[in-house]
């Protein structure tokens, strides 16, 4: 492998010697869009200029003598021609990678010369696998050849020509499908029955793909999510057929977005993770301490998103112990919030809003909501001591669910059986109680959401929620359960985004939730990722109900791929229509989007001709 890389480098350096442009091994968003057959994020060798200032306009190249660039007899001349062209493009939406803006074009004539040199050099080199593309200078005119390329595989020598054409209206695209086939057959001189047809319709329904962001400069925190449906069919028709060979729904979400209705639950997961880290560090120090019980303190940089003044926390706790929940504690819900809704109206968001007053709230839920606002461990211990003091001295009986298996509930039960004798609350005991009841609180929240969506029987969810922790507080057990809840949370984030943008039956969206649960409960989750804003993806077959509605709208992009193979040659033509340009605006000299007189929706047009020549 090292030898192959060195060989590639030697060839590149030798062929580009004395040239004022670069050869970059990279992957390009527009190559991925136009040529999926090259593979996902395919690496290519790009010939281009890279100025120091990426916003500098590329210099006008002088026309060179045609005799020095004679490519007569080469397949490149047949594929590329020798024209100069132009187009007008707008960029209301960035549809490319930011780094692609710094790649500046070279002249078309220079590109052809260098590609021919590369072709001669690598024609017999079996180790060379990279497709080679040259980014070409676009001139004023109606048509622009923006990319030229060559590629060798085991069977074929392949040339690429990618061209920008004037924008077309949606109506003309819808009615002009057959013209694409007619033009293709003229170029290959074959009959229709020997032509393979592939239509790719893409519907971007929400946001911009995470792949289009430069995360070194932008924060994932406010990533709004991304929804895309791609449908592949073999019928030469603008509206895709439901009988197509494949389709998929791609969903992208980010964990910990403050714009998500589930944000509060994620905040609690992160807070519990902080507590577990503090406890783990304390145990490491305590095991080597000369004290019988080492005091626990929170680190100086500790913070909680629920922080409140200690006097407010004291007041809330006293109100709770006096039977008054009015100090910031919500009342119970009296009836099912979805009782009067039909199957299209019930959404996850409705149940999220009811979490603060779900019907099975008990004392530990309310105590957790108070104590999580404490910023230091002494106050946390005081709160726990106050509760047990009220139980033992004032005969206070906290309202606990019959199925409450928290450590706190167990201690209360022991107090009743041991005539009011409370164990010493020292060391990390208070923190362990708080972690335990906090984890149980959010477990009940997630269980409430999933139960109302009829998926509790799926993928071992009951096993996760019914897991009873051992008498000894094992940090790893709590981490495992916290990770399970994080996996469930991510799955619910997918459902929330989908329900925001699709109005379909609950059983349809719940089936998507089951797919998400299956993927993420079976996946290896990184515990450290719980502190980061991580982007997660879900790629599943699109439910038929969603496809039926989506295809009634115009796609974000539509690509027609026609391929005809003969004995020693094969021709593939690609026509790619997109609402937004796929090449950076600063390399195409584009201006604002043009409309026709009827204000019909306009699409940017990119075509490609791929010619295959069989090796002899």
Quick one: pLDDT at residue 290? 54
Characterize 215-249 residue by residue with b for buried, 16 or more Cβ atoms within 10 angstroms of its Cβ, and e for exposed.
eeeeebeebebbbbbbbbbeebebbbeeebeebeb
pLDDT exceeds cutoff 80 at 20: no
pLDDT band at 424, cuts 50/70/90? low
pLDDT band at 241, cuts 50/70/90? confident
Quick one: pLDDT at residue 443? 94
What's the CA gap between 515 and 493, in Å, rounded?
13
pLDDT band at 257, cuts 50/70/90? very high
Of 382, 378, 369, 376, residue with least CA distance to 325: 369
Q: Which residues contact 294 (CB under 8 A, 6 or more apart)?
A: 282, 285, 286, 427
Per residue, what are the HEC states of 352-371? Answer: HHCHHHCCCCCHHHHHHHHH
- Give per-residue pLDDT as tens, 489-541: 999 999 999 999 988 888 888 889 999 999 998 888 888 888 889 999 999 99
Quick one: pLDDT at residue 552? 93
pLDDT band at 616, cuts 50/70/90? low
What's the CA gap between 448 and 542, in Å, rounded?
27
Burial class of 181 by CB neighbour count within 10 A (0 to 12, 13 to 18, 19+): middle
pLDDT band at 17, cuts 50/70/90? confident
CB atoms within 10 A of CB 426: 13
pLDDT exceeds cutoff 60 at 82: no
Tell me which long-range contacts 153-158 makes (C-beta under 8 A, separation of at least 24): 154/615, 155/614, 155/615, 156/570, 156/612, 156/613, 156/614, 156/615, 157/75, 157/119, 157/123, 157/612, 157/613, 157/614, 157/615, 158/131, 158/610, 158/611, 158/612, 158/613
pLDDT exceeds cutoff 50 at 369: yes
Quick one: pLDDT at residue 118? 85
Q: What is the DSSP string of 501-520?
A: H----HHHHHHHHHHHHHHH
- Percent of the chain with pLDDT strictly greater than 90: 52
pLDDT exceeds cutoff 70 at 474: yes
Q: Could you give the count of Cα atoms lying within 13 Å of 454 in the half-sphere of its Cβ? A: 10
Higher local confidence (pLDDT), 338 or 587: 587
pLDDT band at 205, cuts 50/70/90? very high
244 in Cβ contact with 229 (< 8 Å): no
Q: Which residues contact 352 (CB under 8 A, 6 or more apart)?
A: 261, 262, 449
Intra-chain end-to-end CA distance of the chain, in Å: 28
- Domains of the chain, by residue range, sit at 2-182+566-614, 263-492+506-515
Least confident piece of the model among 49-63, 212-226, 486-500, 585-599? 49-63
Higher local confidence (pLDDT), 113 or 54: 113
Least confident piece of the model among 220-234, 448-462, 514-528? 448-462
Quick one: pLDDT at residue 45? 92
pLDDT band at 73, cuts 50/70/90? very low
Of the segments 86-100, 309-323, 333-347, which one has the largest average pLDDT value?
309-323
Across 207-214, average pLDDT? 89
User: What mean pLDDT is reported for the chain?
Assistant: 83
Least confident piece of the model among 38-52, 88-102, 229-243, 265-279? 88-102
pLDDT band at 458, cuts 50/70/90? low
Per residue, what are the HEC states of 395-417? Answer: CCCCCCCCCCCCHHHHHHHHHHH
pLDDT exceeds cutoff 90 at 271: yes
Quick one: pLDDT at residue 67? 28
Quick one: pLDDT at residue 413? 84
């Amino acid at each position: 492998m090292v030898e192959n890389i060195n060989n590639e480098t030697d060839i590149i350096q030798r062929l580009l010697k004395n040239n004022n442009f670069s050869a970059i091994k990279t992957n390009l968003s527009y190559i991925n869009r136009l040529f999926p057959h090259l593979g996902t994020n395919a690496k290519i060798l790009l010939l281009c200029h890279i100025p120091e200032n990426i916003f500098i306009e590329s210099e006008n190249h002088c026309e060179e003598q045609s005799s020095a660039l004679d490519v007569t007899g080469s397949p490149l001349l047949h594929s590329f021609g020798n024209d100069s062209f132009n187009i007008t493009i707008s960029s209301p939406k960035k549809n490319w990678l930011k780094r692609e803006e710094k790649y500046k074009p070279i002249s078309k004539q220079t590109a052809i010369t260098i590609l021919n040199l590369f072709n001669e050099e690598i024609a017999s080199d079996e180790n060379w696998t990279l497709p080679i593309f040259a980014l070409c200078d676009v001139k004023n005119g109606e048509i622009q050849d923006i990319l030229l390329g060559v590629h060798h595989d085991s069977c074929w020598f392949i040339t690429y020509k990618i061209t920008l054409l004037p924008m077309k209206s949606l109506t003309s695209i819808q009615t002009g499908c057959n013209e694409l086939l007619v033009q293709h057959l003229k170029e290959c001189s074959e009959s229709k029955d020997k032509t393979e047809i592939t239509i790719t319709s893409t519907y971007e329904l929400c946001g911009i793909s995470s792949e289009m962001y430069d995360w070194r400069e932008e924060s994932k925190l406010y990533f709004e999510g991304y929804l895309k449906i791609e449908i592949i069919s073999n019928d030469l028709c603008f509206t895709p057929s439901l009988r197509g060979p494949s389709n998929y729904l791609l969903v992208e979400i980010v964990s910990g977005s403050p714009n998500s209705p589930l944000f509060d639950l994620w905040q609690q997961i992160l807070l519990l993770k902080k507590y577990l880290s503090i406890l783990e560090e304390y145990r490491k120090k305590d095991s080597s301490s000369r004290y019988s019980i080492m005091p626990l303190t929170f680190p100086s940089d500790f913070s909680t998103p629920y922080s409140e003044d200690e006097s407010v926390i004291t007041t809330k706790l006293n109100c709770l112990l006096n039977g008054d929940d009015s100090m910031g504690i919500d009342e119970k819900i009296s009836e099912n919030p979805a009782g009067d809704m039909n199957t299209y109206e019930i959404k996850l968001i409705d149940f999220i809003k009811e979490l603060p007053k779900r019907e099975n709230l008990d004392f530990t839920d309310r105590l957790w909501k108070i104590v999580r606002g404490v910023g230091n461990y002494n106050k946390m211990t005081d709160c726990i001591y106050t509760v047990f003091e009220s139980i033992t001295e004032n005969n206070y009986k906290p309202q606990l669910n019959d199925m409450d298996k928290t450590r706190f509930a167990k201690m209360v039960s022991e107090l009743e059986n041991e005539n009011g004798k409370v164990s010493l609350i020292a060391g990390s005991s208070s923190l362990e109680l708080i972690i335990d009841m906090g984890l149980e609180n959010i477990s009940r929240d997630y269980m409430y959401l999933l139960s109302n969506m009829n998926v509790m029987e799926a993928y071992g969810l009951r096993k996760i929620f019914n897991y009873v922790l051992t008498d000894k507080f094992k940090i790893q057990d709590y981490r495992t359960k916290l990770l399970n809840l994080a996996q469930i949370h991510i799955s619910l984030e997918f459902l929330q985004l989908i329900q925001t943008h699709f109005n379909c039956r609950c059983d349809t969206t719940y089936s998507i939730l089951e797919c998400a649960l299956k993927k993420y409960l079976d996946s290896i989750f990184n515990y450290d990722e719980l502190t980061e804003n991580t982007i997660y993806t879900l790629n599943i077959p699109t439910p038929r109900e969603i496809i039926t509605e989506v295809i009634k709208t115009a796609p974000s992009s539509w690509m027609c791929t026609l391929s005809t193979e003969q004995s020693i040659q094969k021709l593939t033509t690609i026509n790619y229509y997109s609402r937004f340009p796929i090449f950076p605006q600063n390399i195409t000299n584009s201006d604002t989007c043009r409309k026709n007189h009827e204000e019909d929706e306009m699409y940017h047009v990119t075509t490609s001709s791929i010619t295959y020549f069989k090796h002899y």
